[in-house]
Amino acid sequence: MSDLLIHDGPSAQPPSHERGVHEPELTRRSFLRTGAAAVGGMAALAAALSPLRDLATEDIPNLDQFFQKHYKEMSPAEMQQALDRISRKVEERYQVRPHLRDIKRMEGVEFVYALNLSRCIGCRKCVHACVAENNQSRSPEIQYIRVIEMPRGTLDVERGNHHYDHPTVPDADHFYLPVQCHQCANPPCVKVCPVEATWQEADGVTVVDYDWCIGCRYCEAACPYWARRFNFAQPNLPKDQLNPDMSYLSNRPREKGVMEKCHFCLHRTREGRMPACVEICPTGARKFGNVLDPESEVSQILKTKRVFVLKEEVGTLPRFFYYFDERYPNSLDPEAIEIANRLREEEGEAYGSLPGANGPNAAFIAQATPARWDEARA
Amino acid sequence: MRLAHEDERTQSMCPRDRRGRSVKMYLQFLWRCFRLSFVGDWRYYAWMFVLSVFVLLGINAYCKQLVYGLATTGMTDQVSWGFYIANFTFLVGMAAAAVMLVIPVYIFRNRELHDLVIFGELFAVAAIIMAMLFVTVDLGRPERFHHLLLRFNFPTSMLTWDVLVLNGYLLLNLHVCGYLIYCAYRRREPSKLFYIPFVFVAIFWAISIHTVTAFLYSGLGGRPFWNSAVVAPRFLASAFAAGPAFLILTLSVLARFTSYPVAPKAFLTLRTVVTVSLAINMFLLGSEAFTEFYTDSTHGASAHYLFLGLDGHAALVPWIWSAIALNSMALLVLFMPVSRRPAVLQVACVMLIVGIWIEKGMGMIVPAFVPTPLGEIVEYLPTLNESLVTLGIWAGGLLLYTILVRVTVPVLSGRLTYDRSFSSAIEERAPVTQESLVAAAPRTSVS
């Protein structure tokens, strides 16, 4: 390294026959200069790397986590190991021992969803039930269901309003179009994932292995229904609001930097219960069941109602069907209006505009400051 | 001068010793290149210092992103790709554009570009590395990168195609450049078998990298703005304008600050390439705009947002019109004979590089997300942190490219060879001429 810095270009170059005389002195000086430059460079690099000191220990994967296999490759014993590890982590963070398991699909079941637009009053109770059930982050906010307020006479979502905030719902001139993952039979999100971190289960539910996702967000770009969500920051959820009833592929707490989405509450539905959004819906607009069972309610609806899917032209073959009740072609179902009125009396004006249903992540990021990031991490 | 009689000595050795010596000599070559990258005049030091500062700022910003997550960027669930992916797309094109030097030289036997083609290939190396860094910083979980090796969703996911073609292209270019430069260092005639086939594979490979990158977007039925067959041709046309334009600037720097001979006709050849590609690119952009606006279906909402604004949201409007203005002015200047003058040509190149960077980055990636598939309008602007990471990667790439060029010039000019002392490599007293080049450098192809 001796002559690294002594030659300041062509003109600074001493004639070669003189060099021998001056070399020792120059070498010592240049050695010091090179040393100083190297030390300065290393110090600057260390300073540049200093934010890593704030890296949360849980962000650094331990060996078990690093070498954990893909969901489909884990043996039952390895799955149990993973479940134990995740349970311990949840307990450390939330001081609640979760009832965490890996629930396999039931044979002979294919789930289908149907939504009666004549009965939806736009109260967004489904949004909140979903968040409570599935342990979504509260800050930044993540929700799987988006309810769009639509002017009558169109199904063009670009004319809808996502951020309606009336004192009461329903608004007489609008109808309400809730959208969530359509669990497509031909899912573009699965097709594009480079690491097979998301796939379609045989009962029709598209799931994510949160421990396998690399967070490239290609699936989010591919989804025509805007059904997938990304954890831009460490998800934040108050300890007393954690739902301890959880499964590996559904509502166990997620990490920063991975995708998540609606999974038809498979920790409930694979054990014979209804999804949280169906259970909470005050007007009975939401129907869910096994399409392979001809007697199920959804089978009856598909047979007897004029159902349609959103964006049929993109060829995704959704398992999420909408329909209007033919009995009430021009208005909401009177029974639904009655329910809405009763809710208004019982709950005041609170239910119409529930907090956080208004493009939460954008608002969070607009205020993103280091302090805010810390808060999100805490 | 220790190595002066190397060849005679190696002749008399047994094969294993010779191999040992070759490895040693190759390591010595790498060591000398490393040393050489620290040698230069004050302008070189100033340039490298500034780049290093930006690299460190970028590393610092990326560390913050690692700690706090991608919330440190302007991206949201609504606009889930931004600056990083935009720069990635642009740089894949810049890398592919090296082929616009290779084709004239290896297919049309252009002599002016012959000794310059390697600078295009070196830039491809730097550009691919930058592109890969941009994808990496965009990942939410970069530490899980090995999952790509364990469950590679090929051939279904276009992203896996991109991983393959980008790495392949990097290896091809590293091989061709490395082989030719090392042959020059050893004063050997390069064996055609060892590089000509790779050069021809790289021609098709270059087109494939940008085509695959375009298919990444155009294959998504849920994003009408991207779901167009003209995306891949547009990408290629804009790349073949911006890439050679960047090489014109590089060669201008070489001609100005080194004694490496750059034939004036080389600039004119590249100018033709740039002009034709830019004209085709503008034509394709116009075709796209016509289809979107004349049809006037809801399909065109993103185009509306980009060019005119949508429901009072117009963050991208000034960007795209600046891009169109820059590209149009550059095209106009390039059409005129005055652009044969180096200064004018350089200004036109800068304008069109900036224009295409905007058009392909902010103008191609972001509007596809606005409005969302559910009709919501959320705008995107990069944050400071995100911009610093971006600048850091650009600075790192330019730093790498500067080193590659800085090392290559004395080797190809015959000043740094195995049988000359290191200090002779940094003496610039004997200016290199076309003749000395022919004597020293590898006769790469044309013969």
Q: What pLDDT does residue A163 have?
A: 84
Q: What is the pLDDT of residue A217?
A: 97
Q: pLDDT (tens digit, 9 = 90+) per residue, B229-248?
A: 999 999 999 999 999 999 99
Cα B240 to Cα B270: distance, rounded to the nearest angstrom: 10
Which residue in A160, A214, A220 is closest to B80 by CB distance? A220
Average pLDDT over residues A125-143: 89
Choose between B187 and B6: higher pLDDT. B187
User: A213 to each of A55, A92, A190, B146, B273, how far by Cα in Å?
Assistant: 20, 23, 12, 11, 42
User: Hey, of B39, B60, B64, B67, which one would you mutate to test binding to chain A, going by the most A CBs within 10 A of its CB?
Assistant: B67
Q: Residue B194, Cα to own-chain centre: how many angstroms?
A: 24
Phi, psi of B5 (to 5 degrees): -105, 25
Q: Mind listing the pLDDT tens digit for each residue in A239-278?
A: 999 999 999 999 999 999 999 999 999 999 999 999 999 9
Between A349 and A130, residue with greater pLDDT: A130
Q: Which residues pair with B272 in a beta bridge?
A: none
Comparing alpha-carbon positions, the chain B residue that sits nearest to A2 is B35
B296 CB within 8 Å of a chain A CB: no
Q: What is the SS3 assignment for A164?
A: coil
pLDDT, tens digit (0-9, with 9 covering 90-100), for B162-198: 999 999 999 999 999 999 999 999 999 999 999 999 9
Query: Which residue among B39, B142, B219 places its CB closest to the CB of A7?
Result: B39
- Rounded to an integer, what distance in angstroms lies between the CA atom of residue B10 and that of residue B20? 10
Instruction: For A53-99, write each residue's pLDDT tens digit.
Output: 988 887 888 888 899 999 999 999 999 999 999 999 999 999 999 99
Question: At residue A8, does pLDDT exceed 50?
Answer: no
Q: Which residue has the higher pLDDT, A305 or A9?
A: A305
Q: At A165, is the pLDDT very low, low, confident or very high (cuts 50, 70, 90)? A: confident
Rounded mean pLDDT of A201-216? Answer: 97
**Mean local confidence (pLDDT), A302-326:** 95
- Measured between beta carbons, which residues in chain B are less than 8 angstroms from residue A54? 67
Among candidates B116, B28, B37, B25, which has minimal Cα distance to B407?
B37
What is the rounded distance in angstroms from the CA atom of residue A95 to the CA atom of residue A240? 9
What average pLDDT does the segment A206-232 reach? 97
- pLDDT band for position A16 (50/70/90)? very low
Check the CA dihedral B290-B292-B293-B295 and report its sign: positive
* The pLDDT of residue B345: 97
B12 — pLDDT class (breaks 50, 70, 90): low
In chain A the first and final C-alpha atoms are separated, in Å, by 48
How many other CB atoms are there within 10 angstroms of residue A88's CB atom? 12
Closest residue in A to B143 (Cα) is: A214
pLDDT > 70 in chain A, percent:
85
ipTM reported for the complex, 2 dp? 0.90
Q: B204: helix, coil or strand? A: helix
Q: What does DSSP assign to residue A14?
A: P
Residue type, B193: L
| Neighbouring-strand partners of residue B137 | none
pLDDT higher than threshold 70 for residue B225: yes
Q: Does A330 touch chain B (CB under 8 A)?
A: no
Establish if B75 touches chain A: CB-CB under 8 angstroms.
yes
Mean pLDDT, rounded, of chain B: 90
Closest CA to B72 of B347, B407, B383: B383
To the nearest whole Å, the CA of B106 is away from the closest chain A CA by 35
Chain-chain contact of B374 with A51 (C-beta, under 8 angstroms):
no
Q: Residue B348 pLDDT more than 90?
A: yes
CB B444 within 8 A of CB B190: yes
Tokens encoding B287: 């075709």
Which chain A residues are within 8 Å of B77, Cβ to Cβ?
Answer: 142, 220, 226, 228-230, 232, 361
The residues in B 372-401 lying below 8 A from A, measured between CB atoms, are: 372-376, 378, 383
Lowest-confidence segment of B13-17, B19-23, B126-130, B438-442 by average pLDDT = B438-442
- Confidence band (pLDDT; 50, 70, 90) for B371? very high
Q: In this structure, what token pair is assigned to residue B270?
A: 């590249």
Residue in chain B closest to A13 (alpha carbons) equals B427
Q: How many CA atoms lie within 13 A of B394 on its CB side?
A: 17
| pTM score, whole prediction | 0.90
In this predicted structure, what is the pLDDT of residue B110?
87
Residue A207 backbone dihedrals phi, psi, to 5 degrees: -120, 165
CA distance A354 to A337: 19
- Pairwise CA distance, residues B407 & B310, whole Å: 51
Residue B52: closest C-alpha in chain A: A41
* Closest CA relative to residue A116, chosen from A341, A314, A281: A281
Report the distance separating Cα A339 and Cα A321, nearest Å.
Answer: 23
B211's CB contacts (< 8 A; 6+ apart) are B232, B235, B236
**Token pair for B440:** 């020293």
| B38 touches A at CB < 8 Å | yes
Nearest to B96 by CA among B193, B240, B267: B240
- Least confidently predicted of B10-14, B105-109, B306-310, B330-334: B10-14
